[in-house]
Chain A
Amino acid sequence: MAEAAPQTSPDTELLHAIARGDESALAALYDRYNSILLGLLLRILHSRVEAEDVLQEVFLQIWQRAANFDETRGRAFTWMVTLARSRAIDRLRSLQSRQRADDTALRDAPDSGVGDAVEDVYHGEQREIVRAALAEIPEEQRRALLLAYFEGLTQAEIAERLGQPLGTVKTRMRSGMSKLRDLLGGKMGRGAGLNF
């Protein structure tokens, strides 16, 4: 076995430890990502109360489902973020349908302020990489991507929202995604080992 073993990221190791029932590994994963995930949940839900509630759900699900994570099928970071986003979109939809039912305000204290104070160096770097990549993507493509990701809209809903033909929207989203992927290249997750 002289060949280079596939490198496992610290996140992958944490998920494996969590699957073995290691509570301190879950605590470590929480300490590493609570803020970044809360940012995501706030952007989707626009409510501190709902976002914190979903954040708790997300970490409970990570605890319960860690054994299902398979590193041969994707990165640990992607697995975790995908889980968090889909919990948040589920919550958003149930809040929206409840809101339609009784027409009360969905949003409480919106936490939209930028608080770089709570961000560590590693996440700050990752954020810069993503910001720079998004800045290079044409506005109308970027807009469609963000509507899908943060508002949970489907291609047809985005077409309706933007008043554009469905075909145009699909093409924009496809080009936007492949540009984003190419611009990020292998830059994401680098340096992840430095904190550990």
Chain B
Amino acid sequence: MTHEDYKEMLALDALDALDGGDAQQQSALAAHLAGCAECRAEMETLRDAAASLVYAAAPPREAPAPELRARILTAIKSHPQDARPATSNGGAATAAAQTSNVSSSSEFEKRREAREVRVGRRLLVFGSLAASLAIAALLVTLALAWQRNARLQGEFARLSETVNRTQQELARTRADRELLAAPEALTATLSGTKVAERARARLTFDAQTGRAMLMAADLPPAPPGKAYQLWFIAEGKPPMPGSVFQPDARGHAEMHEIIPPEGRTAAVFAVTLEPAAGVSAPTGEIYLKSSAS
């Protein structure tokens, strides 16, 4: 097929309307796109045009159920993200490979020095034997270096994974600290109700971004299948659902939340005991409640 033939397919492909049966044609198009900047640029504008058709659908009569937002923000905590196809990883891997080469060659140096002493002493009598021994030793050293390299690379992959995780945790901790220390952060104090008199909690949040952190203490353990759920209660409106959480064995809980825009002006925050998946309207007993501000 010619460039013109492929070009004619672009509009249909942008609409995902090429006949699916013809896989060969589709992969030929993909190959052409990979090598043809003109078609790629054309395809990009056609894909943008196709995506704008989203506005040809009528907006929904009602916004999505508010608990959907809370459900998504809870669910992402247990969904790992794809690794970034970052170049830094590849670069670091090369660096590590280089490091292992460096260390194995210095080891090789030491061994060679030792061998030279031995070889020197026996050279007159066992010259040829020593030379073949030296070659054998060299081969063994190389094999060891090879193995070591492979092992180091595996170790490196594990370490860089740990570093990635640690960096993410650090970023999160930093964000928490910033939130807690920000002068514009708002704080609500929640006290235990009669079902949990000793329980208490503090909710700190940024009214701009909705980023919030709830720290609770002395909450009774949630029975199996149950969890605590946070609520935002604005005057004259039904309570808006927040995320669910579990206290640890000592009754402590630390929960990150992103309060929806309508919840940021809530007058009262409360925590109830609910089914572990969370509910859209409170059904269980109130354990913690802020006093109306």
* B and A form one assembly: yes
4 new A-B contacts at CB < 8 Å, known A23-B76, A37-B54, A111-B62: A28-B209, A31-B261, A44-B57, A180-B52
The answer to whether A66 touches B56 (Cβ under 8 A) is no
- Across the interface, do A67 and B11 meet the contact criterion of CB distance under 8 Å? no
Q: Which residues from 56 to 94 on chain B have a C-beta closer than 8 Å to any C-beta of chain A?
A: 56-65, 68-69, 71-73, 75-77, 79-85
Given known pairs A21-B171, A43-B57, the reply for A118 and B11 (CB within 8 Å) is: no
B residues touching A (Cβ–Cβ < 8 Å)? 8, 11-12, 14-20, 44-65, 68-69, 71-73, 75-77, 79-85, 168, 171-172, 175, 209-211, 256, 258, 260-261
Q: How far is the CB of B244 from chain A (nearest CB, A)?
A: 15
Partner of B81, one of A64, A145, A148, A188: A64
> Is the Cβ of A78 less than 8 Å from the Cβ of B172?
no
Within the complex, what minimum Cβ distance (angstroms) separates A78 from chain B? 4
Chain A residues proximal to chain B, CB less than 8 Å? 19-24, 26-28, 30-31, 34-40, 42-44, 51-52, 55-56, 59-60, 63-68, 73-75, 77-78, 81-82, 84-86, 89, 111-116, 118-119, 123, 126-127, 129-131, 133-134, 145-146, 148-150, 152-156, 158, 170, 173-174, 176-178, 180-181, 184, 188
User: Are A152 and B46 touching (Cβ within 8 A)?
Assistant: no
Q: Which residue of A lies closest to B48 (CB)?
A: A78
Contacts of A75 in B (CB 8 A): 48, 51
User: A82 to nearest B CB, angstroms?
Assistant: 6
Contact, CB under 8 Å: B258 / A23: yes
Q: Cβ of B168 and Cβ of A149 under 8 Å apart? A: no
Q: Which of B15, B44, B77, B80 has the most CB of A within 10 A?
A: B15
Contact B46 A181 (CB under 8 A): yes
A35 touches B73 (CB 8 A): no
The reply to whether A86 and B16 contact each other, CB–CB distance below 8 Å, is yes
Complex: A24 Cα to B207 Cα, angstroms: 12
Compute how far the CA of A152 lies from the CA of B50 in the bound complex, rounded to whole angstroms.
Answer: 12
Q: Please tell me which one of the listed residues B54, B59, B71, B261 contacts residue A56 in the complex, with CB atoms under 8 A apart.
A: B71
Instruction: Tell me whether B72 and A67 are in contact (CB under 8 A).
Output: no
CB distance from B87 to the nearest CB of A (A): 13
22 pairs from A and B in contact (CB 8 Å cutoff): A20-B171, A22-B171, A23-B256, A23-B258, A27-B73, A27-B260, A30-B69, A30-B72, A38-B60, A38-B63, A39-B60, A42-B58, A56-B72, A60-B75, A85-B54, A86-B16, A113-B61, A118-B63, A130-B56, A131-B56, A155-B17, A181-B46
Closest chain-B Cβ to A63's Cβ sits at a distance in Å of 5
> Of B65, B76, B80, which is in contact with the most chain A CB atoms at under 10 Å from its CB?
B76
Nearest A residue to B168 via CB reads A21
Known: A21-B171, A155-B17. A126 touches B61 (CB 8 A): no
CA distance A84 to B56 in the complex (A): 15
Q: Chain A contacts of B11 at CB under 8 A? A: 173-174, 176-178
Please, which residue of chain B has its CB at the minimum distance from the CB of A51? B60
Contact between A67 and B83 (Cβ–Cβ < 8 Å)? yes
Structural contact, A24 and B209, CB atoms closer than 8 A: yes
Query: In the complex, are the beta carbons of A115 and B61 less than 8 A apart?
Result: yes
Give the chain B neighbours of A28 by CB distance below 8 A.
209
Interface pair B68/A145, CB less than 8 Å apart: no
Residues of A within 8 A of B77 (CB): 23
Q: Contact: A177 with B14, CB < 8 Å?
A: yes
- Note all chain A residues with C-beta closer than 8 A to B56: 130-131, 134, 146, 149-150
Q: A23-B256, A63-B81, A64-B80 are in contact. Are A126 and B72 (CB under 8 A)?
A: no
Q: What A residues does B73 contact at CB under 8 A?
A: 23, 26-27
Chain A residues lying within 8 Å of B256, measured Cβ to Cβ, are 23
Given contacts A27-B73, A131-B55, contact A155 B258 (CB under 8 A): no
